[in-house]
Chain A
């Protein structure tokens, strides 16, 4: 009797319930996508299979998945820390842009070392990113300025400032496009897996996930972050100075953003070519939501979304269904996963049933 009880997967367990909820959300999102494909195409089964399986058919495709995952996982980590503290700051988008310009500045400088140059090209943008995030952090901590609005304004300002720097001080003369000169060969990160463009940045990401996990769950700062996120007033009573807390969170977030943008450019680009905001920071916000602001969750979400994005890309080749179908999958998923009450009634019924069963036995 007792054996049967423990074996039964109980929906009353919060963790199990969240997983079931996520799986159901995925099924709904994919189901909806399938319906759309059926409407648009003559061979829906083939296309849908491609969407789901294409990334594992070639090493190169799977490599692409990892390549796509890295920048949005970094920005997801950065945003998740902010969200977790209850700060709706979307500034990582701007940090990716201006951090990219800083990366270009360092990577174009001649530093004759294959070790020092990449380290500096990642570390300097990271520090600059952290410092720049202190602007909205300070305004929030000191004057309670609306961080969402401030960060959005800063995004546009960084875009203009970054383009100004590229055009006037960091313009590549060997190209007609608005872009920086090619990065020095010493700065570029090497591909470490054959047939892919995966670099050391993959391991940096894993380390970052681990460190953010430690920070959140094993340190006092992390405890303050989690508590403040559930109740802003906590920050005032927690003993940890709210000002210090906000500043630290913003700095770490910007630091992660700086790493994310630099490894992206040093792995895949070779020169700075963005002329609009890259969208990687906003995508990070979605990853943070999907991963419920948990570092491991963010990593899994970034992988999952990148996997589907690659699948959609392969599927779109030579078919009537554009790759933007990803928008439907992503939006439905994110919305359902962030809905606290989605399936809650069902869960409550289970709770009730279990409660009555316990009472009877």
Chain B
């Protein structure tokens, strides 16, 4: 591979555009896992939520012949799935991680079940005339060279996700509700003792988690691609869970890690063009997260040990 060629393809506006395109579903997955996790209610069904939402976006937009109603149906699906975690873990006493595992396996097969019912095809929804969401050209900005090429012309959901990112940041860091969410996650007994309704706070977090996860799922089938195919999320939800697990309660680390991951993924796509062993290159992002989490855990352990000594 020619190094100059490689840099030539990386250092372009279209490459940055691609990073954003790749990043949107990953940001959704990370935010989904983060908002639930920070309230002490782990949502590891992100993959399943995104998968079901991706399917319902296609089916919903086909039934209603409206992309927006399709998006709405997808979001409702995501919220319902997230609430299942609340129902089974809070009311019925199941471990939320186990509920998540069950929901993921359920979504894998149930999405195919529904796909088959409505298309008589178990592989793809290509036969359905589903809608996709429009792209947005931001006036004035789109005419600015370089910057305009990068931030204008994305799908509507991309801008919604940026908005959601800001809203979630403000919610967690700047509002009383955010404080309560964090309190419920840190120590639910202590939170209860100062009058926080832990269950309600967690249900709110799960609703946000389901909503943002569904947004990511819908993005895949209403923008990134325009059809649903079997297992279309292909691990993005799991990546979000990994990133959120690494970031802990820190929002900035969450976003930085997700963006690093997206860059890795985009670079991986370029590497693939150069006939390198694609299987190994595909693992680079996972190795990166693994190394990240190892470093993170080692420093945490050192800190704790030091704290014990002091």
Output the least CB separation between A301 and chain B (Å): 13
* Chain A neighbourhood of B113, CB < 8 A: 322, 324-325, 327-328
* Chain A neighbourhood of B136, CB < 8 A: none
Interface pair A143/B300, CB less than 8 Å apart: yes
Output the least CB separation between A354 and chain B (Å): 22
- B-contacting residues, A87-136, CB 8 Å: 88, 90
Output the least CB separation between B246 and chain A (Å): 7
Main secondary structure of the interface of B (DSSP, over half): helix
Interface pair B109/A338, CB less than 8 Å apart: no
Interface pair B116/A145, CB less than 8 Å apart: no
Q: In the assembly, what is the distance between CA of A296 and CA of B290, in Å?
A: 35
Interface pair A157/B245, CB less than 8 Å apart: no
Is the CB of A173 closer than 8 A to any CB of chain B?
A: no
Is the CB of A209 closer than 8 A to any CB of chain B?
A: no
Is the CB of B6 closer than 8 A to any CB of chain A?
A: no
Interface pair A143/B102, CB less than 8 Å apart: no
Q: In the assembly, what is the distance between CA of A167 and CA of B104, in Å?
A: 30
Interface string of A326-340 (1 = CB under 8 A from B): 111011001110111
Most A CB contacts (10 A, CB to CB) among B102, B106, B277 go to B102
Output the least CB separation between A124 and chain B (Å): 22
Interface string of B216-246 (1 = CB under 8 A from A): 0000000000000001000100100110011
Q: In the assembly, what is the distance between CA of A145 and CA of B245, in Å?
A: 10
Output the least CB separation between B111 and chain A (Å): 9
A residues contacting the other copy or chain, number (CB 8 A): 48
- A-contacting residues, B81-133, CB 8 Å: 84, 88, 91-95, 97-99, 101-106, 108-110, 112-113, 116-117, 122
Is the CB of B3 closer than 8 A to any CB of chain A?
A: no
Among candidates A145, A156, A276, residue contacting B297 with C-beta atoms closer than 8 Å: A145
Among candidates B95, B108, B117, residue contacting A322 with C-beta atoms closer than 8 Å: B117
Give the residue name and chain of the B residue nearest to A322 (CB): B116
* Chain B neighbourhood of A335, CB < 8 A: 84, 88, 94, 99, 102
The 6 A-B residue pairs with the shortest CB-CB distance in the complex, in nearest-first order: A327-B109, A340-B93, A339-B92, A160-B283, A331-B106, A324-B113
Interface residues in chain B, defined as those with a beta carbon under 8 Å from any beta carbon in chain A: 44, 84, 88, 91-95, 97-99, 101-106, 108-110, 112-113, 116-117, 122, 231, 235, 238, 241-242, 245-246, 277, 279-280, 282-283, 286-287, 289-290, 293-294, 296-298, 300-301
A-B contact pairs, 5 of them (CB 8 A): A88-B97, A153-B290, A167-B277, A327-B113, A341-B92
Seed contacts A143-B297, A153-B293; 17 additional CB < 8 Å A-B pairs: A139-B294, A146-B297, A148-B44, A148-B97, A149-B245, A152-B241, A153-B242, A156-B283, A157-B283, A160-B286, A164-B279, A164-B280, A322-B122, A328-B106, A330-B106, A338-B88, A342-B93
